[in-house]
Structure 1
Amino acid sequence: MLTKKRREIIEQIELVSIDSLVPKDHLLRTIEESINFNFIYNEVKDLYSENTGRPSIDPVVLIKLLMLQALYGIRSMRQTIKEAEVNMAYRWFLGYGLQEKIPHFSTFGKNYERRFKESDLFEKIFERILKEAIECGFIKEDAAFIDATHIKASANKNKYIEKVAKKQVQKYKKELLKEINAEREANGKEPFEEDDDEASGDAEGGNSSTNGKRVKISTTDPESGIFQKGEKERCFAYTASVACDRNNFILGFKIAPGNVHDSQVFSDLFQEVNDKFPEIKAVVVDAGYKTPGICREIIEAEILPVMPYKRPMTKDGYFKKREYVYDEYYDCYICPNNQVLKYSTTNRSGYREYKSDPQICRECPMRLRCTQSKNYTKVVTRHIWEHYVEIAEDIRHTELGKELYKMRCQTIERVFADAKEKHGMRYTNLRGLSKVGHYLTLLFACMNLKKLAMWKRKRGMFPPAAPALHSFFFMILKFFASNKKPLLGCAF
């Protein structure tokens, strides 16, 4: 039988509570039960006046609005406000009634500029949620998975100016130079002098030194960096280096311009995560982090570096470096034709240079597969910290190393996939490293909070809910029943 739905019912007045309109298994209800947001008041009390000025918008409401944007991947605060006006679950989460007006979209922007911009509120929210996950026993501290991804910036790729680049100086540069000079002096060579730019860069925590290379600087968002990887489209972007555990809880992160290599940010992130979680036994990274400096830093911290095989960058038709055998006892290399390459010098980059005898190479039948040097000399380099890379290579072949590296696709890669597909991290409408960093801090906090809430519910860690009256009509019935007054012609 054909049935027609009567639309007149949408004009009917009903007595309901907003709490009754939100399903019991809704994500926002689960999040609200998993953590007490009142800790935010203590964090922002110094940012508000006690006795002067007009009453402010509740700071928890402002933070929850930003959380809604991050949790559901809404593209802007303006759109978030529009969604909150019509979404009952959003209103319930904010604590707003059906007729109550949601704050204007510009309210958060003004509060951010006047109060939150220079504070560490977002970092404290992230730490508070992470602490809750630790106390619940959800964090597995045996291994950390570290990788980086890029976020497209709100900048036109065709609007830029060119400036002289700043070369990134590694934090271990000073230690490396000290070992280089010690080795050069032991071999009767002059030590290198420390560059003034390198010294200032190292003193400032490894910031930069001029190297003369020109790069593109966006005129729209100067703090972003040009990014192009493989066949991907060239664009201005930011890079987010993230560390997570086996259960995909985010342990720490660092934000940088898109033209900064992942390995340049690794040291700061590794030190932060290692300080917070000293029980970490292994760090799992991809081939981009397989450098002597990073291997040394991890091993010196008494942690296992789990890294994949890194393909050699040798041209086709030439011998691979692995075909030149290193003799540790005599400190020399043996070429594929069984000739000796002797130690020559150690360069400023920390590589020992081993050179062949040009008289032998001139007549060698394999020379064209070895070198096309005009002076008939083959040079093989070996970093003075190369033995740390060899230790990482040995770990790669162990059962533990194979097991942990297989988990990358289930851990850090899954974190990036969820962040981009479900939480809108594929691009940002914000400009400036500080704003992007603050928003991503709250976004990662929301990802942890979402997992924390779901796990708490699955494991029955919520207190039993008190019985509630989900209808104002039922409340009215109870009132008249207790007072024995007639209602709708009925007596109680």
Structure 2
Amino acid sequence: MQGRKNYTEKLFISFQLSDRIPEENLYGRLRETLALSFLYKDTEELYGRTGNPSIDPVVFFKLLITGYLENITSDRKLVEHCGMRMDVLYFLGYDLDEELPWHSTISRTRQLYPASLFEALFNKVFALCVDSGMVSGHTQAVDSAPIKANASMESVVPKMPATPMDDHMKKVSEENQETAKKHVGTVSPARVSAPEHELKRVEKHHRNLRDSPVRPAGASHKKARLLSNKTHYSPRDPDARISVKPGKARKLNYHCSMAVDTAEGVISHIQSDFADGRDSQYLIDISLQVQDRLRKNELVMTDLLAEVIPMAPTTIFSNKGRLPGGYPSSGDINLK
């Protein structure tokens, strides 16, 4: 006989989330493994003694972890997604009939907490991975990628000249004057800090672009061809930098570098830098940060895999010397 399901909401139900979450579910295992109670003590000084209760610090960081695992960058979409997932609600410690924190509360809390608190949580999770035997330590792989800033190229305006410049740079400032007035608002204008010889090189490059009959890849209009970090910036996101990859349009980006332990793919370090720098500029600092984190967990790094420039295997760390800039070394690390 053919069955037919009729749905009628019940006024009273007997239901427990824990009964509906499989034992091998990722969020169920995280709830049992990841102890974040230390965050209460670490965040205590950030709150006053009166007023309405804030979002639970443990819930806040669990929401960020969920956003990373689900690849959700919008706080509004993150809250909507969590409300539809029983396993995530169980991980957060919320029942079906409880309202999740407002998305704007997540944004404000993120601005309240210092970077050191996020790093403390990262170190705690990394230590748990080490204790579980997921980290070998001896071989680390480093790679980087541009991360799009939350600002468009249309927001880019000229920097105010620190000293009188040639006719070309004045012309660029005049052409962008209306745009500058529209976007700068109350933000203090940036000043041109590049030396004169670099500005001359930028001017020569712009002149070659104007005289060339072939438009460069990714240039959709004339203005995009004349933008440089030496002479322009975004008042909406002053730390963002103009960068471009071959065959791609110019965008305002950040430079994100990540180190991964090759044993189980555990992230051992991650950092963001200005997008106008090269991978090789940030490699030494990344190596030192990874080495320090591994040392605190009684592990030693011996090999570092990175794509910097085509070169033969070279020792960049040595027990016999010091790193460029006077940084001390504690082991032999071969750059493959």
TM-score, with length taken from structure 2: 0.69
Question: Please, which of 222, 225, 228 is the counterpart of residue 244 of structure 2?
Answer: 228
Distance 1:119 1:259 in 2: 23
What is the one-letter code of the residue matched to 1:7? N
CA RMSD of aligned residues (A): 2.8
Alignment partner, residue 317 of structure 1: none
Alignment partner, residue 83 of structure 1: 81
Counterpart check, 1:263 vs 2:280: yes
Alignment partner, residue 5 of structure 1: 4
What is the one-letter code of the residue matched to 2:260? C
Q: 1:164·1:212 contact (CA, 8 Å) conserved in 2?
A: no
What is the one-letter code of the residue matched to 2:301? I
Instruction: Please show how residues 262-301 of structure 1 align to structure 2 within 5 Å.
Output: 262-277=279-294, 279-288=300-309, 290=311, 297-299=316-318, 300=321, 301=329
Counterpart check, 1:252 vs 2:269: yes
In structure 2, do the counterparts of structure 1 residues 254 and 295 end up closer, same or farther at CA, with 3 Å as the change threshold? farther
- Post-superposition Cα deviations, 1:245-290, rounded to whole Å, max 9, x if no partner, equal 2121111222112221111111211121223335211211114385
Alignment partner, residue 198 of structure 2: 212
| Deviation >3 Å, runs of 4+ | 9-14, 162-165, 208-211, 294-297, 299-302
Alignment partner, residue 129 of structure 1: 125
What is the one-letter code of the residue matched to 1:237? N
Question: Please, which of 59, 62, 71 is the counterpart of residue 61 of structure 1?
Answer: 59
Alignment partner, residue 150 of structure 1: 146
Q: Tell me, which stretches of 5 or more residues in structure 1 are unaligned?
A: 166-207, 308-492
In structure 2, do the counterparts of structure 1 residues 90 and 304 end up closer, same or farther at CA, with 3 Å as the change threshold? closer
How far apart are residue 94 of structure 1 and its match?
1.4
What is the one-letter code of the residue matched to 1:224? A
Distance 2:332 2:106 in 1: 43
Q: Tell me, which stretches of 5 or more residues in structure 2 are unaligned?
A: 162-192, 200-227, 322-328
Alignment partner, residue 120 of structure 1: 116
Q: 2:258·2:269 contact (CA, 8 Å) conserved in 1?
A: yes
What is the one-letter code of the residue matched to 2:245? K
What is the one-letter code of the residue matched to 1:254? Q
Alignment partner, residue 45 of structure 1: 44
In structure 2, do the counterparts of structure 1 residues 16 and 147 end up closer, same or farther at CA, with 3 Å as the change threshold? same
In structure 2, do the counterparts of structure 1 residues 122 and 132 end up closer, same or farther at CA, with 3 Å as the change threshold? same
Q: 2:129·2:135 contact (CA, 8 Å) conserved in 1?
A: yes
In structure 2, do the counterparts of structure 1 residues 4 and 13 end up closer, same or farther at CA, with 3 Å as the change threshold? farther
What is the one-letter code of the residue matched to 1:283? L
Distance 1:141 1:231 in 2: 37
TM-score, with length taken from structure 1: 0.48
How far apart are residue 125 of structure 1 and its match?
0.3
Distance 1:37 1:133 in 2: 15
Distance 1:119 1:265 in 2: 19
Q: 2:316·2:335 contact (CA, 8 Å) conserved in 1?
A: no
Rg larger in structure: 1
Instruction: Please show how residues 336-375 of structure 1 align to structure 2 within 5 Å.
Output: none
Counterpart check, 1:72 vs 2:89: no
Alignment partner, residue 29 of structure 2: 30
What is the one-letter code of the residue matched to 1:160? V
What is the one-letter code of the residue matched to 1:253? I
Alignment partner, residue 334 of structure 2: 305
